[in-house]
């Protein structure tokens, strides 16, 4: 386990829209370098960069054309190496986004795989043995290659699936077992990509769709897990401080497969959605636990989370996110105060937390934007970072019609510059919370977690982490609960008081108490 993950707080940067250094309307590596001191000032000591590799950008870079080359619009390989070096000087680690399950259909491997003549890349992707064979329940592209056959895609039509083999073989003519030499060659190619960037200076990888490798595999995906354990063995031997964090949202499985941490994502009915994203399917009303409506049920989260925590203890971490590039910002359903309480809670929980760029100032989810590079509904979460009230809110000097995505032009658009001036802003609040986390091991990734009060369809939620008690009442009503502790308030949003074995929490309050 990389030691630095114990106290890691990540900042996720969508490079297209973070900071444009050359005025072409698209964010770039030099722009990121110029903002490293800002990232450090937040208390974030690690960065996750969304894909920077060469790509035709049909899916915003998640369709890789060359894993070994930085996309020209972001800069050069040398620029990325420079970013690693400067970040390390400032005590900031950087992980890259690794897309192992598919490439672009413009990747050299795929171009060679399309050829009719057999070659070393013929089985790098999965092809049926005839253009006329298109079995149901598969995403297949048909009739566009000189090779006789249709190829499997992972998601968009431009993303042919790399061939790691099949767990259950239903079509022996073209489905290979995971033990086949060509499937093993795909694994070795993946490891070589990782080695290349680790040698350049990156500190690990966030792995996109980590469970998508082996096909015809349900449940705990044993064959996919074997591949990741093989990768982990390589890392432990050659790069022991390199981290791998999975987009899997099943920590009991993914951490057992060798990942150091797994994202707790916004999936249907899971604990993360119950906390922050839940809504009534009929009325659309927000019913998340952290909504001021007070209609959430914390026990649905607690039951799932405690089980995950028990099964991953001392093996790896669960990563909470304020948001990510695939998820509408919490401000779509939450007021700034609701979001401030929810974000603060995330940084007081166990595991490795991730702050999505712009959430620290309460940026809006921009409704109604035209899809950009396969963004669709996700596009509204990917708009330019809002630095100040200057041209394009400080993101870029380019004319507004050249911007990758439009900036928020509303009169109340938040900015870093404005929030820094407000002591009670989301920005200054999160800086305080993150600083407290760094100062106290009990609040870091591997600190203990114990539920003190969590009752079905009731508030507040109270939990203990070492010498600290965290009590949360996100609702618009005063709430009370049994409380047998004495201590001193270290951090608060709102107001609470404890006496005679009862804690009374005013509406929309979060309190961090150090036990005497």
Q: On the CB side of 172, how many CA atoms lie within 13 Å of its CA?
A: 0
pLDDT for 236: 98
**pTM metric for this prediction:** 0.97
How far is the CA of 53 from the CAs of 77, 99, 359, in angstroms? Answer: 9, 10, 25
SS3 426: helix
Element (H, E) at 66: strand 66-70
C-beta neighbour count of 352 within 10 angstroms: 25
Residue range 171-177: average pLDDT? Answer: 96
For residues 359, 365, 370 and 373, what is the CA-based torsion angle, rounded to 10 degrees? 30
Domain boundary pick from 400, 417, 441: 441
pLDDT for 124: 98
**Rounded CA separation 407/472 (Å):** 34
> Does residue 122 share a domain with residue 255?
no
> Does residue 502 share a domain with residue 378?
no
- Residue 129 gets which letter from DSSP? S
Indicate which CATH number applies to the domain containing 120: 3.90.400.10
Residue range 8-30: average pLDDT? Answer: 98
Positive or negative, the CA dihedral 274, 277, 282, 287 is: positive
* Of 244, 274, 277, 242, nearest in space to 258 by CA: 244
> Does residue 141 share a domain with residue 273?
no
Domain boundary pick from 441, 458, 490: 441
* Of 291, 292, 290, 288, nearest in space to 274 by CA: 288
Please write the tens of the pLDDT for every residue from 258-280: 999 999 999 888 899 999 999 99
Residue range 106-134: average pLDDT? Answer: 97
Lookup: tokens for 245: 């964090």
Instruction: DSSP for 432-444, please give it.
Output: HHHHHHHH-GGGS
Element (H, E) at 67: strand 66-70
> Does residue 195 share a domain with residue 141?
no
Please write the tens of the pLDDT for every residue from 386-433: 999 999 999 999 999 999 999 999 999 999 999 999 999 999 999 999
Please write the tens of the pLDDT for every residue from 40-92: 999 999 999 999 999 999 999 999 999 999 999 999 999 999 999 999 999 99
> Does residue 410 share a domain with residue 390?
yes
Please write the tens of the pLDDT for every residue from 341-353: 999 999 999 999 9
pLDDT for 416: 98
> Do 361 and 416 form a contact (C-beta atoms < 8 A)?
yes
Residue 199 has pLDDT above 90, yes or no: yes
* Of 281, 272, 278, nearest in space to 302 by CA: 272
Indicate which CATH number applies to the domain containing 455: 2.60.40.1180
Domain count, the chain: 3
> Does residue 434 share a domain with residue 366?
yes
> Do 110 and 152 form a contact (C-beta atoms < 8 A)?
no
> Does residue 73 share a domain with residue 143?
no
Whether 168 is in a domain gets the answer no
pLDDT for 137: 87
- DSSP β-ladder status, 204-207 and 243-246: parallel
> Does residue 510 share a domain with residue 432?
no
Whether 169 is in a domain gets the answer no
Indicate which CATH number applies to the domain containing 286: 3.20.20.80
> Does residue 371 share a domain with residue 273?
yes
Whether 172 is in a domain gets the answer no
Whether 493 is in a domain gets the answer yes
Element (H, E) at 307: helix 298-312
Whether 173 is in a domain gets the answer no
Domain boundary pick from 424, 441, 458: 441
Residue 337 has pLDDT above 90, yes or no: yes
Please write the tens of the pLDDT for every residue from 438-466: 999 999 999 999 999 999 999 999 999 99
> Does residue 427 share a domain with residue 380?
yes
Whether 178 is in a domain gets the answer no
> Does residue 194 share a domain with residue 251?
yes
> Does residue 387 share a domain with residue 280?
yes
Helix axes 181-200, 222-238, angle to 10 degrees: 40
Whether 175 is in a domain gets the answer no
Q: Which domain holds residue 133?
A: 102-163
Element (H, E) at 82: helix 77-89
pLDDT for 268: 85
> If you compute the radius of gyration of the chain from its CA atoms, what whole number of angstroms results?
24
Whole-number percent of the chain with pLDDT over 90: 97
If you average pLDDT over every residue of the chain, what do you get? 97
Of the candidate ranges 138-142, 196-200, 321-325, the one whose mean pLDDT is the lowest: 138-142
């Amino acid at each position: 386990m990389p030691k630095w993950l114990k106290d890691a707080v990540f900042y996720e940067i969508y490079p297209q829209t973070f900071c444009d250094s050359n005025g072409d309307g698209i964010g770039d590596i030099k722009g990121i370098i110029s903002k490293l001191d800002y990232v450090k000032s937040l208390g974030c000591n690690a960065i996750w960069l969304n894909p920077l590799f060469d790509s035709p950008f049909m899916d915003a870079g998640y369709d890789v054309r060359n894993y070994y080359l930085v996309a020209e619009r972001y800069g050069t390989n040398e620029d990325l190496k420079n970013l690693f070096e400067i970040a390390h000087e400032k005590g900031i680690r950087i992980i890259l986004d690794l897309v192992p399950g598919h490439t672009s259909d413009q990747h050299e491997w795929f171009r060679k795989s399309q050829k009719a003549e057999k070659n070393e890349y013929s089985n790098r992707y999965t092809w049926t043995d005839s253009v006329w064979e298109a079995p149901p329940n598969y995403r297949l592209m048909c009739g566009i290659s000189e090779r006789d056959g249709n190829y499997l895609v992972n998601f968009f039509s431009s993303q042919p699936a790399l061939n790691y083999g099949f767990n259950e073989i239903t079509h022996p003519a073209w489905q290979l077992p995971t033990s086949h030499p060509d499937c093993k060659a795909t694994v070795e190619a993946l490891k070589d990509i990782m080695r290349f960037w680790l040698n350049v200076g990156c500190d690990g990888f966030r792995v996109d769709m980590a469970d998508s490798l082996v096909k015809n595999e349900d449940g705990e995906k044993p064959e996919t897990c074997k591949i990741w354990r093989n990768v982990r063995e390589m890392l432990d031997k050659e790069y022991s401080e390199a981290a791998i964090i999975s987009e899997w949202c099943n920590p009991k499985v993914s951490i057992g497969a060798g990942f150091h941490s797994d994202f707790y994502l916004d999936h249907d009915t899971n604990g993360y959605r119950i906390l922050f994203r839940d809504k009534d399917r009929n009325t659309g009303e927000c019913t998340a636990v952290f909504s001021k409506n007070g209609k959430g049920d914390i026990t649905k989260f607690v039951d799932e989370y405690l089980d995950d925590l028990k099964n991953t203890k001392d093996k790896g971490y669960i990563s909470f996110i304020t948001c990510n590039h695939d998820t509408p910002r919490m401000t779509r359903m939450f007021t700034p105060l609701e979001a401030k309480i929810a974000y603060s809670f995330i940084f007081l929980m166990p595991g490795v937390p991730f702050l999505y760029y712009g959430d620290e100032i309460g940026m809006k989810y921009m409704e109604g934007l035209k899809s950009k590079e396969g963004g669709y509904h996700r596009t509204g979460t990917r708009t330019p970072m809002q630095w100040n009230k200057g041209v394009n809110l400080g993101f870029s000097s380019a004319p507004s019609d050249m911007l990758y995505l439009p900036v928020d032009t509303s009169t109340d658009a938040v900015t870093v510059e404005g929030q820094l001036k407000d002591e009670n802003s989301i920005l200054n609040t999160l800086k305080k919370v993150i600083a407290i986390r760094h100062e106290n091991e009990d609040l870091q990734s591997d600190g203990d977690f114990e539920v003190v009060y969590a009752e079905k369809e009731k508030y507040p939620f109270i939990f203990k982490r070492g010498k600290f008690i965290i009590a949360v009442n996100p609702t618009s009503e005063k709430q009370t609960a049994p409380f047998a502790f004495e201590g001193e308030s270290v951090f608060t949003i709102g107001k609470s008081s404890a006496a005679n074995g009862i804690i009374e929490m005013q509406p929309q309050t979060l309190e961090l108490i150090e036990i005497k």
